[in-house]
Structure 1
Amino acid sequence: MASTFARLLSDSRRALFTMLGIQAVIWSVQVVNWLDDYDLSREYGLRGERMEDLPEMFTMPFLHFSWDHIVANSWPLFVLGFLAAYRGMRKFLLASLVITVSGGLLVWLLESPNTVTAGASGMVYGYLGYVVLRGVLDRNLLDAVVGLGVAAVYWTILIGVLPIAHGVSWLGHLGGLIGGLAAAVLLRDPKTAKTAKTADTADTVRPASAPAPAPSPGSPNAALLKELDDLGL
């Protein structure tokens, strides 16, 4: 128990410093971007259907178009990123990769080539989906409580995956959310997955009813049973 708590504390510390580092990078890029009249966002944001722009799916989460834009993304990114990372950095990095690729590909495939998409909101939606579904799949009490808390606090932002708000990349939101859910499935605890699979595929074995023992010849009911047998009863 003590070793488990120590590991959780160590992973949480790494998650905290990781998210602080990511925030530092995003805000530093924002300062440079602002001074350059947001040319970085226009240059390294993602445009749909252009093969040469496909690698920009990895740069667009670090770029924003205004101070309001980065402020709106920073707090949920920090909270949800930390909750996605506190159970281990390896899974966090893999989940981040799945979310980035999923959100980027959906934008690249379906967004207009004349539209530049940038911002960390796709990662926010991805971490949201990952944290909530992980709590369900891993059957871990702490993860389940965290997932329920996240769902209760952030469920209202799910409206952002619908094409109803002007100037908002709902495709990036939807792609990120899909990536987060996929990452939760792909990175689920192997012990839990094995247990569930065993429970689903195991055959239920029931012992067959043993035949009634034949009465011994000396039994008082032997004669009666013999007569009933002769009568076919």
Structure 2
Amino acid sequence: MEVWLNYVFGLRPRNFWGLVCIPLFPLLHGSYQHLTGNTQAFLLLGWFILMQGIHLFYVVTIATALISGVGAWLFGPPNSVGVGASGVIYGYLGFILMYGIVSGSWIALLLTLIIAVRDAWRITGNKYNESQLLPVERSPRMGWTAHLFGFIGGVLIALALSDMRLN
């Protein structure tokens, strides 16, 4: 059943139906391991954003899902089907890192440093986790375009909302 859902509702680059499925593909996952990996990062990074306000959480989540989806739709490999919330996760990471820099809050800067050290492997990937931000194919089954555009979207949202302060 889940393979069928991924095939039908996953993001297909430069295909009209794939464009329609942009809001759905972050909700689909290729395996239980994929789902749990994204859930852990979603809870940790999403919690920080949620603590700044529910509206900010909604804005960052929806905007990064759409930006990562449009980026993957425009630049993803042909004849592929994208699923997973990694674009949103990388959007959260980009938002938190840039928000810590532009807000000038020492709490935000400290959290930015902690998250940067903790999640440095997300930027380049490693032998234990193939997820990466940089456009280096580590696995033929894993795309990077949603990761990159989610991160860029998070950075842009932080810059656009730079006048907000941490509580």
Same fold (TM over 0.5): yes
Displacement, 1:37? 4.3
Q: 2:42 aligns with which of 70, 74, 77?
A: 77
Q: Is the aligned partner of 1:163 residue 2:133?
A: no
Aligned partner of 2:60 in structure 1 is 95
Matched, 1:172 2:146: yes
Distance in structure 1 (CA, Å) of the matches to 2:13 and 2:149: 14
Identity score, percent: 28
The letter for the 2-side match of 1:175 is F
Higher-RCO chain (CA-CA 8 Å, sequence separation at least 6): 2
1:164, distance to aligned residue in structure 2 (A): 2.2
After superposition, give the CA deviation of every residue in 1:198-225 in whole Å (9 maximum; x if it has no partner).
Answer: xxxxxxxxxxxxxxxxxxxxxxxxxxxx
Cα distance, 1:172 vs structure 2 = 0.9
Structure 1 position 182 matched with structure 2 position 147:
no
Q: Name stretches of at least 5 consecutive residues in structure 2 with no aligned partner.
A: 125-131
Runs of 5+ in structure 1 lacking a partner?
1-35, 192-233
Structure 1 segments of 4+ aligned residues over 4 angstroms from their partners:
none
C-alpha contact 2:98 2:155 (8 A) present in aligned 1: yes
Secondary structure at the counterpart of residue 57 of structure 1: coil
TM-score calculated relative to the size of structure 2: 0.87
Contact 1:50 1:113 in 2 (8 A): no
Answer yes or no: is 1:43 the counterpart of 2:16: no
Q: Structure 2 counterpart of 1:56, which letter?
A: C
Of the two, which has the highest radius of gyration?
1
Q: Spell out, residue by residue over 1:154-200, the C-alpha distance to the aligned partner (whole angstroms, 9 max, x if none).
A: 01111112222111110111011111111111111258xxxxxxxxx
- Greater helix proportion: 1
8 Å contact 2:137–2:143 — kept in the other structure? no
State the one-letter code of the partner of 1:158.
I
TM-score normalized with structure 1 length: 0.63
Aligned length: 156
